[in-house]
Homo-oligomer: A and B are copies of this chain.
């Protein structure tokens, strides 16, 4: 993670939830719109935050074998159903629950994401490297104009980050060395795990990701190869 010799990087892969897209504002907006349209009063902000809080524990259940391999769509749905019950939101149809669950397919990019990725794509292979499943990431890309060359997903190797298999899958599929791949993420822990597999690292802070609940990842806490304020600065730093 020494900051030197990033000239050999050929592919940039991006964490998505929080790094490329603003999941929290998007999910809150979708939940609140749903509540208004159905005349259902609930603490939709708390449901959104609870939904995301269920993310890591639900992947841990897969990792420990308590659940068979399950996509993030499936894990999101399990968490949503429990949260709706806990918050007293009842009587929703299967179609309504499915539509809510697909809010994660419609997350809005941060203001600099599309412009930055478009610049970076001219010089680099750009892809996702997300725990989101392929359908979720692809629908999001179509919805929001994210110009990926490739969707790399935990689903393709059935291992969730930070399992090493997920990071290794990118150089393996691209037939390049790990040092020719850079992970870009707003999360220190994701980058530390990527660096352990030999990937280069780029940190872009997203201090508003968790809204008022943000507790970490305000800044790079390790000597990552590149640190930038947004994707446009990242493109600048990477010569794109």
Determine if A96 is an interface residue (Cβ-Cβ < 8 Å): no
Chain B residues within 8 Å of A133, by CB: 173, 175
Contact assessment for A138 and B151 in the assembled complex, using a CB-CB cutoff below 8 Å: no
Give the number of copies in the complex. Answer: 2
Bound complex: CA of A150 vs CA of B149, how far in Å?
A: 7
Determine if A174 is an interface residue (Cβ-Cβ < 8 Å): yes
A142-B149, A156-B156 are known contacts. Are A174 and B125 too (CB-CB below 8 A)? Answer: no
Determine if A134 is an interface residue (Cβ-Cβ < 8 Å): yes
**How many chain A residues touch the partner (CB < 8 A)?**
19
Contact assessment for B73 and A135 in the assembled complex, using a CB-CB cutoff below 8 Å: no
Q: CB-nearest residue of chain B relative to A146?
A: B149
Contact assessment for A150 and B134 in the assembled complex, using a CB-CB cutoff below 8 Å: yes
Given A133-B175, A150-B151, A156-B156; 13 other pairs, CB 8 A cutoff: A125-B142, A134-B150, A134-B173, A134-B174, A135-B174, A135-B175, A135-B176, A138-B150, A138-B174, A141-B149, A148-B149, A149-B151, A155-B173
Bound complex: CA of A142 vs CA of B150, how far in Å?
A: 11
Bound complex: CA of A110 vs CA of B37, how far in Å?
A: 49
Bound complex: CA of A175 vs CA of B135, how far in Å?
A: 6
Chain B residues within 8 Å of A135, by CB: 173-176
Chain B residues within 8 Å of A141, by CB: 149
Bound complex: CA of A138 vs CA of B174, how far in Å?
A: 8
